[in-house]
Amino acid sequence: MPRDHRPARSIRVLLAEDQGMMRGALALLLGMEPDIEVVAQVGAGDAIVDAALVHRPDVALLDIELPGRSGLEAAADLRAQAPGCRVLILTTFGRPGYLRRAMDAGAAGFLVKDGPVEELAGAIRRVLTGETVVDPALAAAALSAGPNPLTARERDVLEAAADGATVADVAARLHLSESTVRNHLSAAIGKTGTRNRMEALREARHQGWL
């Protein structure tokens, strides 16, 4: 619809997606909706808050895996620094753990990317009215999966060990004793039902716990 035929007050959307082609396609498709205007596009998670403070979007549409800062971390930042902006997570990775973390971070919705743009546009309108919009299949999976079994410190230790760092390296990075690091790694391995820390890391990421 031509721009001058839009409603007097369009829904202002910030779009965060690291793949340029996908970002451009989403912006184009959403821009064809008569009541939606994409006012900002960013390709990195650490650019989200600054863009939101400048452009004042009504809804931030965020991917999860972004360079610089994840969409889940950015959602929590927006809740603190731009509380008037509703957050809708749109991701390829429909993992129950991600859904729980998104809700904990204050997101108002969580959708996977394989749905039609009409569904996405409808979700944008709905979260703006105060609704919570979640992919039904993912919501059911999250309920059956249960909460994240890893503590915050166990997650930190697994992440710090992701590049093959030694226990001593991880201890130095996190300012912990080596025995504490070993205990956290052992706990994480046990909770993920794996045999070593690299398997534990892969399983935790697969479940969306990290």
Reported as type and span, the H/E element at residue 61 is strand 59-62
Phi then psi for residue 164, to 5 deg, are 85, 15
Question: What tens digit of pLDDT does each residue of 193-202 get?
Answer: 888 888 888 8
Residue spans of the domains in the chain: they are 11-144, 152-207
Instruction: Judge whether 11-144 and 152-207 match in fold.
Output: no
**What is the separation, in whole angstroms, between the first and last Cα of the chain?**
42
Does 2 score more than 60 pLDDT?
no
Structural contact between residues 76 and 85, judged by C-beta atoms closer than 8 angstroms? no
Q: Stretch 180-202: mean pLDDT, rounded? A: 88
Confidence band of 203 (pLDDT split at 50, 70, 90) = confident
What CATH class does 11-144 carry? alpha beta
Which residues are CB-contacts of 54 (< 8 A; sequence separation ≥ 6)?
Answer: 40
Question: What tens digit of pLDDT does each residue of 55-92 get?
Answer: 999 999 999 889 999 998 999 999 999 999 999 998 88
What CATH class does 152-207 carry? mainly alpha
Q: Stretch 5-26: mean pLDDT, rounded? A: 85
The DSSP bridge partners found for residue 41 are 15
